[in-house]
Each structure stands twice: as C-alpha cells, then as structure tokens.
Structure 1
Amino acid sequence: MVRGTTGGSRVGQGARRPELRLPPLEPWAGDGLEPDGDYDGLEFADADLTGQDAAGARFMDCALRGCAVDGTKLRHARVLDTALTGFRGVGTDLSEATLRDVELTDPRLGGTQLHGAVLERVVVRGGKIDYLNLRMARLRDVVFESCVLVEPDFGGARLERVEFVDCALKGADFTGATLKDVDLRGAAPLEIARGLDRLSGAVIGTGQLLDLAPVLAAALGIRVE
C-alpha cells in the first residue's frame, strides 16, 4: 500500500549516490563517435554529437560538458563513472544502455529513450526532461533532485531505492511498474497520470495523499459528493 507519513523518517534504505573522483582528463580530439568505441579518461567539451552513432560504445571516467545530443545513437552504450553536464537535445537514444556511477547535471532533454536501460547509482540534478522513456528499465539507487520531469514513462520498470528530492513530477506513468523503497515525498507537484495501483512500495506525504485523493477515488470507482 502507499504509506503516508508526517515526515522525518525515511522509506526503507535510502539511495546510494555516486562518488565521482575523475582522474586528470585529456581533451577529446576525435572527428566523431564510433559504434562500439572505447572512450576512457576523456573530456568532451561543447561537442556537437548530433545524429552520431555510438551504439555499444563505452565511456569510462569521462566528462561530457555542454554537448548537443539531438538524435545521438547510444543504444547498448555503457556510461561508467562519468559526469554529464549541460546535455541538450531531442530524441537521444540510450535504450538498453547501462549507466553506473553517473551524475547528470542541468540537462535540457526531450524524448530521451532509456527503455530497457539499467541505471545504478545515478543522480539527475537540475534541468528539465520532457517525455523521458524508462519503460522496462531497471533503476537502483537513483536520485532525481531539483529537476522537472514532464510525463516520464516508468511503465513496466523496476525501481528500487529511488528518491525524488525537490523535484517536479508531472503526468508520470507507472503502469505495470514495480516499486521498492521509492521516496516520492520530495516531489512537488506529484502528478500521476496512470499506474496508481502500482505504488505499493512507495512512500508519500499526507499532503500529497490529499492531492491524489480525487484521482485515487476515480481509479477505485468511488463517487465523491
């Protein structure tokens, strides 16, 4: 069941955040990304990666700052121990990718495809992401902090130790999702379009419960007069 709380206590075990300690980085001097490429200890500064194909690539101990990623293909990519700052673009394909020990700061993204992806020890801090597709993804130790998520799709996803901290969650879809130790108390507003019946394993505040009451009543077929 969805548990209400007056604050103070945590839901289960809190999310573990990444602790990035990047080594000295070398500037990336390539002409473009390559499928199955191996990028280690590099800094990508203000790179235009629009439409490039890096499916299956590995980014390890890297920093990507101010990069344009419109339509960039990163399917099956592995992004490890890496800082992503100021990402901007529409239609970036990270489907079935692995993100581990990653900090994503101030993104401006739309229609990002992360369906079937694995996210572990990831922080999304600041920025705005519209229509984030996380269907069938696995999220463990993930924090959404001070960001705006518009119509994110968690359909069929598995969320464990996921926190929303000072985060706007608008029109979220949790259809078929499985939640464990998910803390929604820091989401304001908290707007759930679909999947209210899948919120077992989440914790919300009493004020949020009152805000969701009309939607819950409608989902249960209760008429309020």
Structure 2
Amino acid sequence: MRLPPLVPYAGEGLEPDGDYDGVRFDGVDLADASGRGARFMDCALDGCALDRTELGRARFIDSVLTGVRGVGTDLAEASLRDVEVVDARLGGVQLHGAVLERVVVRGGKIDYLNLRKARLKDVVFEGCVLSEPDFGDAHLVRVEFRDCVLKRADFSAVRMESVDLRTVAELDIARGVDRLAGAVISPAQLMELAPAFAAQIGVRVEA
C-alpha cells in the first residue's frame, strides 16, 4: 500500500471520535489511550504500543500498521478497510463484531484473537501465527490463510464462502470442524482432519 506524505504525530494519547488524516504514529506509546470511534485515514502506525488501547468502533481506512504490539487491545465493532497489518505482536485482541474488508495480515503473531460475529471479506492472513483464534459465528467471504499457522482455532457457528485453507502450514481446529462447508482444503489436510470428520458424524474407525 502506498501512502501519501504523512505528518508526524505530535500529540499525546488519542481522542474519542478523533479524526486522524495522513498522520504517522512512529513508536508512539498508546497504551491505555482511548480513541473509541476515532477515524484513521491514510495513516501509518509504526512500532506503537497498543496495550489496553480502546479503539472500539474506530475506523481504519487506507492505513498500514507495522510492528504494533500490545495486550488487550479493544477493537470491538471496528471497521478496517484497505488496511495492512504487518509483523504485529498482539495478545487478546478484541475484534468481535468488527468488519474487515480488503485487509492483509502479514507476519507476526496474534494470540487469542477474538473475531466472534465479525465479518471478513477479501481478507488474507499470510505467514502469521494465530494462536487460539475465535471465529465463532463470524462470516468469512473470500478469505485466504496463506502459509500461516492456526493453533486451536474455533470455527463454531462460522459461515464460510470461498475460504482457502490449502496452504495453511499448520491447521489445528479445536471446535467447528463441521462448519468447514464453503472452505477449500488440500488432500493432505483432508487426511489429517478425517478423524475429526468421522467423530462429527458418529463414525467409529477401528482396525
């Protein structure tokens, strides 16, 4: 993504319902800041701390988040459109009820990602590690997991349309294996998931 010339952020923290247009947040400590409902357009967040940052219902448009880190970041019901998230190190991120459209998550590691009831459209997870992500009751349309690791993923009540799991490096589904209708998997993944599929429909496999 190409951003226009950006203005360095010179403020402190964030403002609820704030309007940030063409701003670069370079290494800014945003821990415990409250930017609920804020709008970020053509912005770059580089190496920012997002511990417990409140960004519920915030809007990120045409923006890049690189090397952000933090625990307990609140992005519930946020909207991300045309956004890149690169090499993030996050834990316990709340994205339930959020809308992600044309988003790329590349590299990094995100633990306990909460995407319950979220809507994802044209989203790519590439080369990242998602540990215990929760997609419960989410709606995924044209979502690709490319060369990434999914550990203990929860797909309970999820709806999938054109979801590509074929190149997942490690596919570990804790719940919701019965909700993979609409997904594409590889023959090798089919063999790995066969016991879970059999258990789901009540088939006993014995030698």
What's the TM-score bracket when you normalise by the shorter of the two chains? Answer: over 0.9
C-alpha offsets along residues 111-166 of structure 1, whole Å, 9 cap, x if unaligned? Answer: 10000000000000000000100000000000000000011100000000000110
Alignment-derived partner of residue 96 in structure 1: 77
Alignment counterpart, residue 192 of structure 2, candidates 211, 216, 219: 211
Would you say how many aligned residue pairs link Structure 1 and Structure 2? Answer: 206
Q: C-alpha root-mean-square deviation of aligned residues, in Å?
A: 0.6
Q: Which residue of structure 2 aligns with residue 75 of structure 1?
A: 56
Q: Which runs of 5+ in 2 are unaligned?
A: none
- 1:215, distance to aligned residue in structure 2 (A): 1.5
C-alpha separation between the residues in 2 aligned to 1:31 and 1:143? 32
Distance 2:61 2:185 in 1: 31
Measure the CA separation in 2 of the matches of 1:51 and 1:187: 34
Distance 2:31 2:197 in 1: 42
AA in 2 matched with 1:41: G
> Which residue of structure 2 lines up, in the alignment, with residue 126 of structure 1?
107
Q: For 1:196-207, list aligned pairs within 5 A.
A: 196-207=177-188
Residue identity in the other structure for 2:173: I
Quote how far apart the aligned CAs of 1:21 are: 2.1
Paired letter, 2:120: L
Alignment correspondent of 1:52: 33
What's the TM-score once normalised by structure 1's chain length?
Answer: 0.90
Partner of 2:118: 137
Provide the rounded CA distance (Å) in 1 between the counterparts of 2:196 and 2:19. Answer: 48
Deviations 1:169-213 (A, max 9, x none): 111111111000000001121111111111110000000000111
2:2 match: secondary structure:
coil
The residue type equivalent to 1:27 in the other structure is: P
Per-residue deviation, 1:217: 1.5
Once the two structures are TM-superposed, the CA of residue 224 in structure 1 deviates from its matched residue by 1.1
Give every structure 1 segment of 4 or more consecutive aligned residues whose post-TM-superposition deviation is greater than 4 Å: none
What secondary structure is seen at the aligned counterpart in 2 of 1:64? Answer: strand
2:82 paired with 1:115: no
> Does residue 105 of the first structure (1) align with residue 86 of the second (2)?
yes
Tell me which of the two structures has the higher relative contact order, counting C-alpha pairs closer than 8 angstroms and 6 or more residues apart.
Answer: 1
Q: Which moved more, 1:208-217 or 1:123-132?
A: 208-217
The share of aligned pairs that are identical, in percent, is 68
* Greater mean alpha carbon deviation, residues 184-193 or residues 85-94: 184-193
Distance apart, 1:218 and its partner CA = 1.7
Tell me, what secondary structure is at the counterpart of 1:169?
strand
CA distance in structure 2 between the partners assigned to 1:224 and 1:103 by the alignment: 44
Task: Give the equivalent residue in structure 2 for 1:3.
Answer: none
SS of equivalent to 1:187: coil
Residue in 2 that maps onto 1:36: 17
Question: Paired residue for 2:146?
Answer: 165
User: Following TM superposition, by how much is the alpha carbon of 1:52 offset from its aligned partner in structure 2, in angstroms?
Assistant: 0.5
Per-residue deviation, 1:216:
1.5
